[in-house]
Structure 1
Amino acid sequence: MERASLLQQLTTESERDGVQQLVVGAVVQNGGKVLLLQRPEDDFMGGIFELPSGKVEPDEALDMALIREIKEETGLDVAAIRDYLGSFDYMSGSGKKSRQFNFAVDVASPEPVEMQEHDAFAWTPINEELPVTDAVKDVLSKYRELPRA
């Protein structure tokens, strides 16, 4: 399936399912490690590690939101969006039914990571037990199963 039609299908399904907030997340990999960001302690789900992710703005395409959010949260430039890794639903801190769409991305350069909204970051070996939610563990499991070029 072509990426544009996949992204439209995902958006349409979310509307049908009553999702109120769309979110995009990325698996950013470098040398067998994935980038995880730690949420501020005083924030919703404070202290947990998560994938770089953020809200999709009204009328914004999922791929454009992904590129924007990675830049805003890490300072990194997305060079390519490679694979769709599935989604998960959750209730946001403001009580909105949210759906996070996850993608494997390549970045132009993995350094420097410049955080704006998180307390810390870590490049964590993909084959280790990672300090993330079960939903993110499922995304990373799908990522591990991808054929490597």
Structure 2
Amino acid sequence: MPFEDVRRYGMWCAVWGFEVSPKQSIGESVLTGLQDRAVADSVALRVGIVLEHNGTVLMLERDPHGAGRSPLSLPGTIVRPGEQLATAVARAVFEETGLTVVDIVRHLGSFDYLSNAGKPVRREHFAVDVATVGPIRLTNYAGYRWVSLDGELPVTPSIRGILTAYRS
């Protein structure tokens, strides 16, 4: 990110680490409360992100040969030990798409599940604003699509619930 963007958006990204300070329209107390609840419930925390542009939402496409997974997913990541939720949200978007979060707008809900290792996980979802919507640089996905939420999407029922909450 050019230095001018760093000053304008109040964030920086180091080569080996990731520090951010995006605006938090959602309120820092909401983020802290969600993180505290996950600790109290003894669940690992992940984040999922909804990015909207011109009435469509960014969906990432997995490798079509990957068995047992939904073909489309939202950007997201694990929250690292000691990492603030706002940092994890911005890092997820940057690492998976190359886009820069400038505001965490609202919390969309969560769901719990068991990881492949059988450990309890909670995935908290957020709507965010980004500095620009391109270019998108993928790291872990085969492709991406900007999709309308009007039709039936090939996503898990849990993600469908999050997207329904986002629409309302």
TM-score (ref. length: structure 1) = 0.88
Whole-Å separation in 2 of the counterparts to 1:40 and 1:29: 23
Percent identity (aligned) = 38
Whole-Å separation in 2 of the counterparts to 1:30 and 1:115: 17
Aligned position for 1:60:
83
The equivalent position to 1:103 in structure 2, one of 108, 117, 126, is 126
Q: 1:47: Cα distance to partner?
A: 5.1
Q: Is the 8 A contact 2:50 2:75 kept in 1?
A: yes
Aligned position for 1:138:
161
The equivalent position to 1:8 in structure 2, one of 25, 32, 41, is 32
What is the one-letter code of the residue matched to 2:97?
Answer: T
Q: 1:41: Cα distance to partner?
A: 5.2
Shift of the 44–62 alpha-carbon distance from structure 1 to 2, 3 Å rule, reads: farther
Shift of the 50–18 alpha-carbon distance from structure 1 to 2, 3 Å rule, reads: same
What is the one-letter code of the residue matched to 1:61?
Answer: Q
Is residue 149 of structure 2 the alignment partner of residue 115 of structure 1? no
Q: 1:39: Cα distance to partner?
A: 2.7
- Deviation string for 1:61-118 (max 9, x for gaps)? 1111000110000011112111100111111223221111100011111111111011
Is residue 140 of structure 2 the alignment partner of residue 124 of structure 1? no
Secondary structure of 1:114 counterpart = coil
Q: CA RMSD of the aligned region, Å?
A: 1.9
- Deviation string for 1:124-149 (max 9, x for gaps)? 1122211111111111111101xxxx
Shift of the 36–107 alpha-carbon distance from structure 1 to 2, 3 Å rule, reads: same
Structure 1 consecutive aligned stretches of length 4 or more whose deviation exceeds 3 Å: 40-47
For structure 1, the residue ranges without an aligned partner over 5 or more in a row are none
Computing the radius of gyration from Cα coordinates, the structure with the larger value is 2
Q: Is the 8 A contact 2:70 2:154 kept in 1?
A: no
Whole-Å separation in 1 of the counterparts to 2:60 and 2:87: 20
What is the one-letter code of the residue matched to 1:18?
Answer: S
Q: Is the 8 A contact 1:40 1:47 kept in 2?
A: no
Whole-Å separation in 2 of the counterparts to 1:24 and 1:65: 7
What is the one-letter code of the residue matched to 1:59?
Answer: G
The equivalent position to 2:42 in structure 1, one of 18, 21, 29, is 18
What is the one-letter code of the residue matched to 2:30?
Answer: L
Shift of the 135–3 alpha-carbon distance from structure 1 to 2, 3 Å rule, reads: same
Whole-Å separation in 2 of the counterparts to 1:99 and 1:85: 13
Q: 1:56: Cα distance to partner?
A: 0.6
Aligned position for 2:107:
84
Secondary structure of 2:158 counterpart = helix
